């Protein structure tokens, strides 16, 4: 049980859609490392 902040991969997101993609990308990355 950890909190990771800031969340999302740094892809220089500008729109809310890009921010959502960066967050989902980090979730997929973390899940694949488990």
pLDDT digits (tens, 9 = 90+) for 1-34: 688 888 999 999 999 999 999 999 999 999 998 8
Q: State how far Cα 5 lies from the chain centre.
A: 10
Report pLDDT for 4: 83
Task: Return the pLDDT at 1.
Answer: 66
| 19 upstream amide cis, omega within 30 of 0 | no
For residue 10, give every residue at least 6 positions away whose Cβ sits within 8 Å of its Cβ, in sequence order, or none.
22
Which tokens in the block code for residue 12?
């220089």
């Amino acid at each position: 049980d950890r909190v990771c902040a800031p969340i999302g991969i740094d892809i220089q997101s500008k729109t809310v859609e890009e921010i959502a993609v960066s967050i989902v990308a980090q979730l997929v990355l973390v899940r694949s490392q488990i």
